[in-house]
């Protein structure tokens, strides 16, 4: 699996309330981008506690402030499934992406008292 620091959206980001990833990827910064050649992978680094569920979304936008955000993919997980090592999202970056990509984490229920995630772009993903 190829991992480049410029493709990291979140690195062990603490998620206690709804938040965007700490980093945004500018797909034009590295030259031409080929849709479908990259995967977005998100995983739990530290077990979550007290929330009801977490939705992980991949968003794209033409503006870096995401005022025109479009959701590309999302998945929702109940608290019991949010354990360290759990793969939350593993999707091919689809055609139609705009210039910027980010992850968004939506907390449902009480604020989480613990929980960290990492999300990044890579060239391949283990789908088992």
CATH class of 3-122: mainly beta
Judge whether residue 59 has pLDDT over 90.
Answer: yes
pLDDT recorded at residue 1: 47
Distance between CA 35 and CA 15 in Å, rounded?
28
Task: Taking residues 11-24, report their average pLDDT.
Answer: 96
Domain ranges of the chain: 3-122
Task: Taking residues 60-72, report their average pLDDT.
Answer: 95
Full DSSP string of 42-107: EEEEEEEES-SEEEEEEEEESSTT-TT-EEEEEEEEEGGG--TT-EEEEEEPPTT--SEEEEEEEE
Instruction: State the chain's mean pLDDT as an integer.
Output: 88
Question: Percent of the chain having pLDDT more than 90?
Answer: 67
């Amino acid at each position: 699996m190829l991992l480049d620091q410029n493709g990291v959206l979140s690195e062990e980001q603490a998620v206690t309330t709804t938040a965007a990833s700490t980093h945004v990827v500018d797909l034009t910064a590295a030259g031409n981008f080929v849709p479908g050649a990259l995967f977005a992978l998100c995983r739990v680094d530290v077990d979550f506690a007290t929330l009801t569920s977490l939705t992980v979304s991949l968003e794209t936008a033409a503006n870096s402030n995401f005022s025109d955000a479009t959701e590309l993919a999302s998945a929702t997980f109940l608290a019991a499934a949010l354990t360290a090592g759990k793969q939350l999202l593993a999707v091919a970056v689809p055609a139609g992406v705009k210039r910027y990509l980010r992850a968004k984490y939506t907390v449902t229920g009480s604020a989480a008292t613990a929980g960290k995630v990492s999300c990044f772009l890579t060239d391949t993903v283990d789908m088992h």
